[in-house]
Amino acid sequence: MIEISGKFYPTIGDLLKVVEKERIDRDYVDSKSGIFLITSSTIKTSSNGNKYSEALAVDSSSKSRVKIWDVVKSGSLVFAHYEYNPTYRSFSLNPVKIVDAESVPDITEKLIPHFEGIEALKKCLKYLVKSVKNEYLRKLLVLIFDENTDFYRRFVESTAASRNHHVGRGGLLFHTISVTKNALNLLANYPSLDRDLIVTGCLIHDIGKVETYTFGPEYDYTNDGKLENHIVIGIKMLTRFIDKIPDFPKDLEMILTHVMASHHGTLEYGSPVVPKLPEAMLIHFADEMDARLNAAIDALKNVNEKNWSERVEILRTDLFKFKEEEN
């Protein structure tokens, strides 16, 4: 629930907490209308010619697709009555008031998706940078993640995606540290691989996302993000950082560029080249693991009475939530 002027209103997370069989009445959470932050929206036309919006409603920890009986833009705050359709397993909103989310920052700040533990993640990032022994790789990481720079401040605030995984403030930092931890765990089974290259590759693989997505509340693509994508943007950023380091080895620059170019693993998923080093393969696997598992865990926050989630596009399937029966 969100408090405004001493009154409490449900958000999308509160609607989702109620089990499906009890979502039977309009405004079923304490008979109160709700407040919904809309982070993506597509305007459509019904068979009778009326326009409506298919949108994503979010709060600080939950999200769900909704149908809104009005024209609503991304980045809007919608005060609305709500209903749940058990046949289609979907929510519909009947707006009372629609405002630009940026015009009410005090309310939007409470609803905007974000990740917890950012300060601890910053400390972990600093430790990982210091742990790199290769002189040039460490210099590169110190330069990129300099806490006094605008890039660093944007990096720790950025989202990791617009919809598939780690969406929200701090999502990029959370994802980056998770990928690096995954990679180091895998490295324990393959000790012959280059730890410094793997740590560096994990930490820089998504730096282009700082310029790929907006900074909320809608976390949409920027023009650069749509035209170039984060891999191309990241490689250009890497080149600019390396140019600031005298005598940076050309072969090392080539390998780092390959790691960034190949981290999506296959051509059909956006990489211009497939991994051609075992270290690049491991970084791809660690990245893929974190993105997919985050999407799966996120989807299982909202399941039906049979414990099945909605279809998850990044996984191309729905998911089952296993609950062990109590004796």
Mean local confidence (pLDDT), 90-113: 91
CA angle 79, 160, 245 (to 5 degrees): 140
Q: Which two tokens stand for residue 317?
A: 């399937």
What is the average per-residue pLDDT within 290-318?
Answer: 85
Give the pLDDT score at 134: 97
Homologous superfamily of 2-111: Nucleic acid-binding proteins (2.40.50.140)
Asked whether the predicted pLDDT for residue 302 surpasses 90, the reply is no
The predicted pLDDT at position 280 comes to 97
List of residues 6+ apart from 72 with CB closer than 8 A? 38, 41, 53, 55, 78, 95, 98
pTM of the entire structure?
A: 0.83
Tokens of 99: 């405002």
Q: Would you state the pLDDT for residue 326?
A: 55
Give per-residue pLDDT as tens, 226-240.
999 999 999 999 999
- What is the mean pLDDT of the segment spanning 12-39? 91
C-alpha to C-alpha distance for 162 and 205, rounded to whole angstroms: 17
Kindly report which listed range (85-94, 217-226, 233-242, 311-320) carries the lowest average pLDDT score: 217-226
Q: Which one of 45-49, 188-192, 295-299 scores highest in mean pLDDT?
A: 188-192
Rounded Cα distance, 201 and 183, in Å: 10
Average pLDDT over residues 206-230: 88
- pLDDT range class, residue 324, cuts 50, 70, 90: low
How sure is the predictor about 74, in pLDDT bands with cuts at 50, 70 and 90? confident
Structural fold of domain 118-299: Hypothetical protein af1432 (1.10.3210)
* Stretch among 92-106, 183-197, 241-255 having the lowest mean pLDDT: 92-106
Instruction: Report d(CA 77, CA 54) in Å as an integer.
Output: 15
Can you give the residue ranges of every domain in the chain?
2-111, 118-299
Q: What mean pLDDT do residues 166-172 have?
A: 87
pLDDT band of 128, cuts 50, 70, 90: very high
Over the chain, what is the mean pLDDT? 91
Mean pLDDT of 35-57: 91
> What does the H/E/C string look like for the chain?
CEEECCEEECCHHHHHHCCHHHCCCCCCCCCCCEEEEEEEEEEEECCCCCEEEEEEEECCCCEEEEEECCCCCCCEEEEEEEEEECCCCEEEEEEEEEEEHHHCHHHHHHHCCECCCHHHHHHHHHHHHHCCCCHHHHHHHHHHCCCCCHHHHHHCCCCCCCCCCCCCECHHHHHHHHHHHHHHHHHCCCCCCCHHHHHHHHHHCCHHHHHCECCCCCCCECHHHHHHHHHHHHHHHHHHHHCCCCCCCHHHHHHHHHHHHHCCCCHHHCCCCCCCCHHHHHHHHHHHHHHHHHHHHHHCCCCCCCCECCCECCCCECCECCCCCCC
Interatomic CA distance for residues 179 and 203, integer angstroms: 8
Cβ atoms 150, 266 nearer than 8 A: no
